[in-house]
Structure 1
Amino acid sequence: MCVRRSLIGLTFCTCYLASYVTNKYVLSVLKFTYPTLFQGWQTFVGGLLLHVSWKLGWVEINSSLRSNVLTWLPASVLFVGMIYAGSRALSRLAIPVFLTLHNVAEVIICGYQKCFRKEKTSPAKICSALFLLAAAGCLPFNDSQFDPDGYFWAIIHLLCVGAYKILQKSQKPSALSDIEQQYINYIFSVVLLALASHPTGDLFSVLDFPFLYFYRFHGSCCASGFLGFFLMFSTVKLKSLLAPGQYAAWIFFAKVLTAGLSTLLFDAILTHAAVGCLLLGGLGEALLVFSEQRGF
């Protein structure tokens, strides 16, 4: 069982790294900045693969899913906002910077639990939230590649992530499984992003994309779709097998691995002060993992 968990954890980390690197390559190197089309493609592939997996009996999805769609719809709207804003932000920000800002979503969750749910919060978790907030707050002032639009979309992204996780935690355990939630997300995202592609101008602007008929673009887009699905699947599997603390530790390891290797693969100019901010954010997340493992 321990070997199986380790294999799934390593698979998750591999998919996490490969997914971020592939998306960053398409968004920043190839400059395919048409988020409704790119995210629409990814969610279409994910939804199709999940539907096939269901029909083949590899995953379980309740056939009476329709009765719970309306209750999950607000979360699906947030999911679309999360992936759309995340795509816009990642196209403009270095991966370590994006992940540091992304982690501020945990501060939103911690604040909600403390202020509205009146849950007891450990000193370690409070320190973690403060470190994450300080790291993200100082980063714009020390980022030599500061991009206002990138930070704006990163803020929208982290707000959507925080709200999405709060809604997810508030769902009754018997309502929808993680796979069923993602199935609804995929279907809703494909429809909404397809409808939005024309008003946003992406539908016709993409015809001017210089690499539209290049094999490396096609291969990267296919890889991003499949990797997104495998990342989701391995995440759900890992979450179901591990305790919250162990699950958080694997996510932390995947983020550190991805942030570190991305600096070797993409042009990222990080000043000493910016590196200090990133390390402070890493310390904040490490404290969060510690508090999860202790059950605080």
Structure 2
Amino acid sequence: MNGRRSLLGLTFCTCYLASHLTNKYVLSVLKFTYPTLFQGWQTLIGGLLLHASWKLGWVEINSSLRSHVLAWLPASVLFVGIIYAGSRALSRLAVPVFFILHNVAEVLICGYQKCVGKEKTSPTKICSALFLVAAAGCLPFQDAQFDPDGYFWAVVHLFCVGAYKILRKSQKPSVLSDIDQQYLNYIFSVALLALASHPTGDLFSALDFPFLYFYRFHGSCCASGALGFFLTLSTVKLKSILAPGQCAAWIFFAKESSWSESVSQRARTRYCTA
């Protein structure tokens, strides 16, 4: 059983690392900075794969989802905000910087639980939250590649992440499983991002993208969609099998792995260009 849990944790870490690095490659290296199209493609692939998994009997989805769509709609709106703002931020910021700012969302959740939920918060958790705030506050002054727009979208992203998690906690117990919620998120995201692609100018601007017909771009986009889907499945499985503390430890390890790999990649890039 322990071997199975370790394998699941390693699978989650691998998907987490690969998905973020693939996204960073498309956004920063290939410079496909059209978030409505990129995130719309990712959620479309994720939704199709999740629907196929449901039909094949690999996952269970509540067949009466329609009656719960309106109740879950605010969360789906926040989910679109998470992926859109995250895409804009990740295209401009280094992965370590993005992760540090992303983690500040936990401070919002901690503050909500303490002030609104009146939950008991351990001194260790409070110190951790203060450390995250301090680290994020120092970033703009230490970042040699400071980008105001990147930080702006990162702040929007972290507020959407915090609000999304708070909303999920406030709706517990929910008749919707994590898979049900993600299925609705996929459907709503595809519809909203498709409608937004024209007003934002992404639809026609992407026609001038220089790598539009290159296999590297097509392969990276397909990989990003598939990896996002497998990351979702492994996250749900991880939460269902492991205790909250163990699950949090694996998530922390995945973030640290992504941070370390991105730092080493930047170091290799600087060495090669020196």
Q: TM (normalized to structure 2)? A: 0.97
Q: Which residue does 2:127 correspond to in 1?
A: 127
Give runs of aligned pairs for residues 56-135 of structure 1, distance below 5 A: 56-135=56-135
- Which stretch shifts more, 29-38 or 163-172? 163-172
2-structure distance, mates of 1:87, 1:268: 24
Question: Counterparts of 2:269 and 2:156 in 1: how far apart (Å)?
Answer: 24
* Structure 2 residue aligned with 1:137: 137
Distance in 2, Cα, partners of 1:255 & 1:205: 33
Instruction: State the AA in 1 paired with 2:6.
Output: S
Q: Which residue of 2 aligns with 1:162?
A: 162
Displacement of 1:269 in angstroms is 9.9
Per-residue Cα deviation, 1:164-196 (whole angstroms, up to 9, x for no partner) = 000111123242100000000000000000000
**Structure 2: distance between partners of 1:142 and 1:239:** 36
Give the distance between the partners of 1:13 and 1:209, measured in 2 at CA: 32
Aligned to 2:191: 191
Q: Which runs of 4+ in 1 moved over 6 A?
A: 267-270
Unmatched segments (≥5 aa) in structure 2: none
Q: Give the structure 1 partner of residue 246 of structure 2.
A: 246
Q: Quick check: 37-46 or 174-183, which moved more?
A: 174-183
Q: How many residues align?
A: 270
Structure 2 counterpart of 1:136, one-letter code: A
Does residue 225 of structure 1 match 2:225?
A: yes
The one-letter amino acid of 2:159's match is L
Query: Mapping of 1:263-274 within 5 angstroms?
Result: 263-266=263-266
The CA deviation string for residues 180-215 of structure 1, in whole angstroms up to 9 with x for no partner, is 000000000000000000000000000000000001
Separation of aligned partners in 2, 1:174 and 1:69 = 13
2:173 is matched with 173
In the alignment, the residues of structure 1 paired with residue 27 and residue 252 of structure 2 have an alpha-carbon distance, to the nearest angstrom, of 24
Counterpart amino acid of residue 127 in structure 1: C
Q: Deviations over 1:222-252 (max 9, x none)?
A: 0000000000110000011011110000000
1:197 and 1:267 map into 2 onto residues whose CA distance is 36
Q: Which residue of 1 aligns with 2:10?
A: 10
Secondary structure, aligned partner of 1:74: helix
Counterpart CA distance in 2 for 1:50 and 1:214 is: 27
Q: Kindly provide the amino acid, as one letter, of the partner of residue 112 in structure 1.
A: Y
State the Cα RMSD in Å.
1.3
Letter in 1 for 2:239: K
Partner Cα separation in structure 1 for residue 62 and residue 260 of structure 2: 40
Give the Cα separation in 2 of the matches to 1:259 and 1:181: 28
Q: Contact conserved, 1:145 with 1:269, CA < 8 A, in 2?
A: no
Deviation at 1:267, TM superposition (A): 6.4
Separation of aligned partners in 2, 1:182 and 1:36: 18
What is the distance in 2 between the residues matched to 1:20 and 1:39?
Answer: 13
Matched residue type, 1:172:
K
CA distance in 2, matches of 1:213, 1:267: 30
Say if 1:104 and 1:136, in contact at 8 Å, map to a contact too.
Answer: yes
1:49 aligns with 2:75: no
Amino acid at match of 1:115: C
Shift of 1:36: 0.1
Quote the residue 1:291 is aligned against: none
Partner deviation per Cα, 1:95-148 (whole Å, 9 max, x = no partner): 000000000000000000111111111100110110000000111111001000
The verdict on how the C-alpha distance between 1:269 and 1:124 changes in structure 2, with shifts beyond 3 A counting, is farther
Q: What is the alpha-carbon distance in structure 2 between the residues aligned to residue 258 and residue 207 of structure 1?
A: 32
